[in-house]
Amino acid sequence: MNGVTMAVDLGGTKVEAALVDAQGAVLTRTRRRAATGPGAGPAELRSAVQAVVAGALEAQPPGYVLEAVGIGSAGPLDSVAETVSPLNLPVRDFPIVSVVRDVVGETLPVRMALDGLCVALAESRFGAATGVSTSVSMVVSTGIGGGIVIGGAPLVGEHGNAGHIGQLRVSSEESPECATVGTLESVASGPASVAWAQMQGWTGQNGEDLACCARSGDSLARAAIERSAKAVGQALAGVCALLDVDLIVIGGGFSHVSDDYVDLVEACAHRAAVLPAAQTVKVVRAALGSDAPLVGASLLRP
């Protein structure tokens, strides 16, 4: 019998589940997805999580045995209470571990981590950071998240929340009503870039429109993309100064908004760097694409 892990990935727009084998391969016929989003309250979220987990479990092929469960989630999370409070979802202290256990049973080991850390683990073991002992991986999408691997080991942090690169402050702008104003996520994510372009007079609606318009020569769309890349690069210059890393891996849907997005980020990181080592950091595209969060979640197993 071949051992597999139930991998769960909870984000701001969707929740996915699939079975992943020991070689990091997602068993594609077991993959299930459900929408989340700002309209998903606790009951809706519980139903969506349990539906995808049950669907993946029902699709388990003959010859495989379920050995563990790994959960990656947008944060912040509470590793002691085993709850998550994703900033992009209208729920707080969502008991995701117990919700999943209701489907898979109480006997299997269940581990939980930030989705950004799951991406970092996957890219370190099987992807663009293979063979590199210290790396940072990040996702630029609806939100911005990240994960850190140092000396081959994941950096978890005191409360399980290390790697929240999207919450680094890249602007002096502040708001007493909203602490996230001026953070990297509020400046450089896909929705933030679209909103900025619209404020400048651009008439598109989403990141796909932004990419299309930029390819067609629209200067406002291109400016929004470059603004995002500049902010990410500046944040990474600080990360490199703090952690002394040689490799940054970037994935996520918005990172594909232009073919040169990762190159723009690297150039901006080099320009913003103070320390010599940070001036030569390599910034590369993630290799595992949309599989990375699930593959990384599977690596959380004991």
> pLDDT tens, position by position, for the chain (302 residues)?
789 999 999 988 899 999 999 999 999 899 999 999 888 889 999 999 999 999 999 999 999 999 999 999 999 999 999 999 998 889 999 999 999 999 999 999 999 999 999 999 999 999 999 999 999 999 999 889 999 999 999 999 988 999 999 999 988 777 676 777 889 999 999 999 999 999 999 999 999 999 999 999 999 999 999 999 999 999 999 999 999 999 999 999 999 999 999 999 999 999 999 998 889 999 999 999 999 999 999 999 77
Q: Where are the domains of the chain?
A: 2-114+291-298, 128-286
**DSSP 3-state of 179:** coil
Please give the C-alpha separations between residue 212 and each of 24, 53, 159, 219, 256, in angstroms, as whole numbers.
33, 35, 41, 12, 11
What ranges make up the beta strands (E) of the chain?
2-10, 14-21, 32-35, 64-73, 77-78, 83-84, 110-114, 135-140, 144-150, 153-154, 247-251, 282-285
Is 128-286 assigned to CATH 3.30.420.40? yes
Same fold, 2-114+291-298 and 128-286: yes
The pLDDT score that the predictor gives to residue 180 is 75
Class of domain 2-114+291-298: alpha beta
Give the tens place of pLDDT for each residue, 201-214.
Answer: 999 999 999 999 99
Give the tens place of pLDDT for each residue, 133-184.
Answer: 999 999 999 889 999 999 999 999 988 999 999 999 988 777 676 777 889 9
Q: Checking DSSP bridges between strand 64-73 and strand 110-114, what pairing results, if any?
A: parallel
Element (H, E) at 241: helix 219-243
